[in-house]
Amino acid sequence: MVNLIAELPGESNDIVIIGSHYDTKLFKEFKFVGANDAGSSTGALMELARVLAVKKPNKLTYRFVFFDGEEAFCKEWDDCHNPNPADPKTPLPDNTYGSRHYVAQLVQKNEAPRVKAMILMDMMGFKNLRLGRADLGTSWLQDIVWQTGKQLGYKEFVDTTEGVGDDDHSPFLKAGIDSLDIIQLSTYGAYDSEYWHTKEDTLDKVSAKSLKIVGDTIIASLPKIEERIQSRSR
Ligand SMILES: [Zn+2]
């Protein structure tokens, strides 16, 4: 597997990571496109990186991380745990390979303390966009992003809880890094997760407008996130 990492240096060494997984799920039974999971967030991340590079200088250093291996090899997320010799009580998951590896490297290189926030996008391109707050995430980051989205007039940001659980932001949270996940899982389709991990996850379900809504909201949230991070370190 390969994580792709691009860095945009800023005035400060403090890092904000914006991430997405770019692998998609492998099904033997049918051809899986993965337009929303994870084509949408991969495309949005490329465009965010382009926009922020033009907009420089940024106060903080930005890292754009495209994670590999988010999807499980086995059919379901939790079908195939592996034994963990270091901690038998918590088996190694069969998912989030790239993000777990990336965070382990951050810790090993003693870079983790420099990472002040992590913004994850995953499945955020559905044409009927509706973004609840993921159940796992740092509330001050969620507050800023959701308030900013609403201020921009995007009613797609709602205050319901989006039950997702672990995603690529989980290893960051476990390492003490404030993180959030922008994801639409439960309402991806006409009923519960209808298109998720099915042959229906195709380009016609995704709209450029949804990518723009999330992208605009993140761009507008960053100065507030930078302000919060810098006021804490003063
Ligand atoms: Zn998936």
70-86, pLDDT tens digit by residue?
999 999 998 998 888 88
Q: How many Cα atoms are found within 13 Å in the side-chain-facing hemisphere of 112? A: 19
Cα–Cα dist 103/171, whole Å: 6
Predicted pLDDT of residue 83? 85
Q: Kindly give the distance from the C-alpha atom of residue 104 to the centroid of ligand 1, in angstroms, as a whole number.
A: 22
C-alpha 58 to ligand 1 mean position (Å): 32
- 157-162 vs 179-183, strand pairing mode: unpaired
- CA 228–ligand 1 middle distance (angstroms): 32
Query: Checking DSSP bridges between strand 4-8 and strand 115-122, what pairing results, if any?
Result: unpaired
Instruction: Say if CB 179 and CB 173 are below 8 A apart.
Output: yes
The token pair at 115 is 């990472």
State both tokens at 95. Answer: 């998912």
pLDDT, tens only, 39-74: 999 999 999 999 999 987 789 999 999 999 999 999
State the helix-helix crossing angle for 208-233 and 41-55, rounded to 10 degrees. 50
60 CA from centroid of ligand 1 (Å): 30
How many H helices and E strands in the chain? 5, 7
Q: Please give the model's pTM, rounded to 2 decimal places.
A: 0.96
| Mean pLDDT along residues 89-93 | 85
What tokens were used for 33? 């496109």
Map out the domains of the chain as residue ranges. Answer: 4-233
Longest CA–CA span in the chain (Å) reads: 55
The 10s digit of each residue's pLDDT in 124-136 is 999 999 999 999 9
Give residue 36 CA to ligand 1 midpoint distance, Å. 9
Cα(137)–Cα(135) distance, integer angstroms: 6
Q: What's the average model confidence in pLDDT over 145-172?
A: 97
- Measured in Å, residue 223 CA sits from the centre of ligand 1 at 30
- 21 by DSSP, 3-state: which? strand
Q: Is 125 helix (H, G, I), strand (E, B) or coil?
A: coil
For domain 4-233, give its CATH number from 3.40.50.2300, 3.30.360.10, 3.90.1150.10, 3.40.630.10.
Answer: 3.40.630.10
Query: Taking a C-beta distance cutoff of 8 angstroms, is the pair 83, 92 a contact?
Result: yes
Residues 204-224 have pLDDT tens digits of 999 999 999 999 999 999 999
Of residues 34, 9, 4, 224, the one with CA closest to residue 117: 224
How far apart are the CA of 9 and the centre of ligand 1, in A?
31
The Å distance, Cα 129 to ligand 1 centre, comes to 17
Q: What is the pLDDT of residue 203?
A: 98
The CA 197 to ligand 1 mean position distance, Å, reads 6
